[in-house]
């Protein structure tokens, strides 16, 4: 390689430098302020616009979920402690328990919300541009005060330019530099590092929340309640007008008595109800407690589409086996029983009881008594509670579970055939129940008067229920012990009593009523929704405050010139100044290792003259085993390479 030589700057380069300096000095003050305002306005307006659209769509299409009447609401389960350890997982998966429900496509809403998350990482350059004013102002102050110790080293200046130009890559370089050197950042570098840290973190956090928001915003079926006032349906049950006007005190109003015989009113509907084939009435069960089941009369039209509160009648029956007490004094192989004087005879034959010589004529049946001791029979029982005996004879049971159970007794002459007698009491109520989403959620009872006791127990008189009692016996025969036999029989007798009493009962209007419908809505959890809005607001607020601080504190008109140097353009124009090139060695054009670029016809306006920028070219040449920038200029039509 030929020895480098030195040459003077060309007149074109001198004119270009003077023109550039003059142009920078003549920049109006408004240019610096405009650049700050634009740097703040562009990201802020974009974020605010998208956020405003998100909020507007959510509120405009929001559907207020009506929870309905307080009396017709299901109480939340209080046994939720087992689910608490998974609350965080539930929050991540669903966004939390609280949410807005809107009539809007969930995919479209998620797409709108994610717009800012996609662009915020690219908008950080605008914020970094504002930070450059702080760096420029700090450099200017340090230089004016001749605080040499605070000036940046070449490496720190390189890091500063990297932060301003390459974003998070420059941030990584600054972190590595800080970790290796252990020195705190100087003033101009510190401001840019803090700013870029803030914007970088938000650039990561906001897209993460956007992604979470998009995951938890899903379509979901939601129940909407509409209160109906006044109620339009009559699902309640009450005493009929005929029974209210009934004057015969010897028999219940639902019994027609003719000498020694009697018949039930509306027996056809009653048997339909008892066999669960009625389209008008139904008997439902309600578990008042683990040890008590209450049955109540309801309307068969009840469904999950209509919630209501209505009045009705209810019954609860308890039975216990007295088979052992009735047969403990009977010899083995003897079929006799002797419970009381009013309840004695043989399981195989009708007894000789003068009050009812055919008490056990039917294999299964019931008999009313006036007291819980079953000492006196009665045809009709105008009292509440009502006492009665229930029996089952000649019941075939194949299970061996009853071999040692004293609650039943084996037949004396037929293998695998058993008999039992139960002492029962029935309590009747006037009740109100709440029907919600297809089932009863509450049942409030008041003890019915003695007249109602007579009406509701009338089906047990005169053997009206004996045929249905055989059904109770069949159900009870599959039990595992005598206690289960007593429970099954008791519940079925309550079912029979309410079913066969329908002749005394008529419809009543509902007390409360609300319709229930299912809507397919978009669930927008409030936690990620407001978290996303909050972080975007913090971003906008930070940018605006940062811009205001830059306008007030950095003297933009003075700092703009220095800021212009903190760019690639500023760096290159500074390197290839006249004095730099004038003092640099020259390399012949034939020694250059890089081919020159094609000449460009770009022009720089300077006052009233025009100078071609293409007269100066930039190259990288190798000198003494090292690469250096070089300026390729024309000197009297000769290409000259000057090392910078």
* Mean pLDDT confidence for 513-539: 94
Contact (Cβ atoms closer than 8 angstroms) between residue 338 and residue 445: no
Cα torsion 615, 617, 621, 624 to 10°: value is: 50
CA 176 to chain centre: 44
- Which residues share a beta bridge with 623? 626
- pLDDT for res 347: 82
Range picked from 74-83, 253-262, 434-443 for highest mean pLDDT? 434-443
Spatial separation of the C-alpha atoms in residues 255 and 95, rounded to whole Å? 63
pTM over 0.85: no
Distances (CA, A) of 484 to 288, 364, 401, 422, 551: 18, 17, 12, 12, 88
- pLDDT for res 27: 46
- pLDDT for res 187: 66
Total length of the chain: 644
Spatial separation of the C-alpha atoms in residues 16 and 84, rounded to whole Å? 74
From the list 360, 574, 380, the residue with the least C-alpha distance to 461 is: 380
pLDDT of residue 25 exceeding 50, the answer is no
Q: Is 491 helix (H, G, I), strand (E, B) or coil?
A: helix
- Which residues share a beta bridge with 281? 299
From the list 175, 239, 155, 163, the residue with the least C-alpha distance to 199 is: 163
Spatial separation of the C-alpha atoms in residues 428 and 426, rounded to whole Å? 7
Tell me how many degrees the CA angle 310-311-313 measures, rounded to the nearest 5: 135
pLDDT of residue 2 exceeding 80, the answer is no
pLDDT tens-digit series, residues 632-644? 666 666 666 666 6
Per-residue pLDDT band at 349 (split at 50, 70, 90): low
Structure tokens at 562: 């220095």
Domain range annotation of the chain? 1-17+577-644, 236-510
Residue whose pair of structure tokens reads 């797409």 in the numeric block = 111
pLDDT tens-digit series, residues 38-49? 888 888 898 999
pLDDT tens-digit series, residues 272-284? 999 999 999 999 9
- pLDDT for res 563: 76
Buried b / exposed e across 97-109, counting CB within 10 Å, b at 16+? Answer: eebbbbebebeeb
């Amino acid at each position: 390689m030929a020895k480098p030589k030195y040459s003077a700057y060309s007149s074109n380069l001198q004119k270009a430098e003077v023109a550039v300096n003059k142009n920078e000095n003549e920049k109006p003050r408004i240019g610096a302020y405009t650049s700050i305002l634009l740097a703040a306005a562009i990201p802020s307006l974009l974020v605010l616009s998208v956020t405003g659209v998100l909020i507007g769509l959510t509120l405009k299409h929001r559907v207020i979920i009506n929870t309905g009447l307080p009396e017709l609401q299901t109480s939340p389960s209080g046994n939720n402690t087992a689910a608490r350890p998974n609350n965080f997982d539930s929050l991540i998966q669903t966004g939390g328990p609280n949410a807005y429900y809107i009539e809007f496509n969930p995919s479209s809403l998620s797409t709108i919300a994610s717009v800012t998350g996609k662009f915020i990482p690219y908008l950080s350059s605008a914020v970094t541009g504002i930070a450059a004013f702080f760096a420029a102002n700090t450099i200017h102050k340090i230089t004016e005060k001749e605080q040499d110790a605070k000036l940046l080293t070449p490496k720190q200046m390189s890091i500063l330019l990297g932060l301003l130009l390459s974003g998070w890559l420059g941030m990584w370089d600054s972190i590595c530099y800080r970790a290796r050197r252990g020195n705190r950042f100087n003033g101009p570098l510190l401001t840019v590092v803090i700013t870029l840290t803030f914007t970088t973190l938000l650039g990561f956090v906001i897209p993460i929340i956007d992604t979470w928001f998009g995951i938890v915003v899903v379509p979901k079926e939601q129940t909407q309640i509409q209160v109906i006032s006044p109620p339009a349906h009559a699902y309640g049950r009450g005493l009929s007008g005929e029974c209210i006007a009934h004057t015969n005190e010897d028999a219940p109003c639902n019994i027609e008595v003719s000498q020694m015989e009697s018949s039930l009113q509306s027996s056809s509907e009653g048997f339909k109800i008892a066999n669960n084939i009625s389209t008008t009435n139904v008997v439902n069960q309600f578990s008042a407690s683990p040890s008590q089941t209450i049955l109540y009369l309801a309307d068969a039209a009840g469904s999950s589409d209509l919630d209501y509160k209505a009045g009705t009648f209810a019954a609860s029956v308890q039975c216990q086996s007295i088979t052992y007490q009735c047969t403990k004094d009977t010899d083995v192989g003897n079929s006799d029983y002797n419970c009381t004087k009013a309840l004695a005879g043989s399981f195989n034959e009708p007894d000789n009881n003068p009050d009812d010589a055919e008490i056990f004529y039917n294999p299964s049946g019931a008999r009313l008594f006036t007291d819980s001791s079953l000492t006196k029979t009665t045809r009709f029982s105008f009292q509440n509670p009502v006492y009665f005996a229930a029996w089952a004879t000649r019941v075939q049971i194949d299970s061996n579970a009853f071999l040692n159970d004293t609650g039943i007794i084996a037949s004396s002459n037929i293998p695998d055939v058993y008999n039992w007698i139960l002492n029962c009491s029935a309590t009747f109520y006037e009740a109100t129940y709440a029907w919600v989403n297809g089932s009863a959620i509450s049942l409030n009872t008041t003890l019915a008067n003695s007249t109602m006791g007579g009406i509701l127990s009338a089906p047990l008189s005169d053997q009206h229920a004996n045929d249905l009692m055989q059904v109770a016996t069949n159900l009870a025969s599959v039990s595992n012990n005598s206690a289960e036999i007593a429970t099954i029989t008791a519940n079925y007798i309550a079912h029979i009593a309410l079913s066969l009493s329908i002749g005394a009962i008529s419809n009543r209007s509902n007390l409360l009523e609300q319709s229930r419908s299912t809507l397919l809505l978009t669930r927008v959890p409030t936690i990620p929704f407001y978290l996303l809005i909050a972080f975007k607001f913090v971003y906008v607020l930070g940018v605006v405050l940062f811009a205001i601080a830059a306008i007030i504190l950095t003297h933009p008109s003075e700092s703009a010139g220095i800021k212009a140097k903190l760019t690639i353009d500023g760096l290159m124009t500074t390197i290839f100044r006249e004095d730099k090139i004038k003092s640099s060695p020259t390399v012949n054009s034939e020694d250059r290792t890089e081919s020159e670029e094609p000449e460009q016809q770009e022009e720089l306006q300077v006052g009233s003259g025009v100078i071609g920028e293409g007269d100066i070219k930039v190259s990288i040449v190798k000198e003494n085993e090292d690469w250096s920038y070089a300026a390729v200029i024309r000197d009297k039509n000769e290409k000259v390479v000057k090392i910078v």
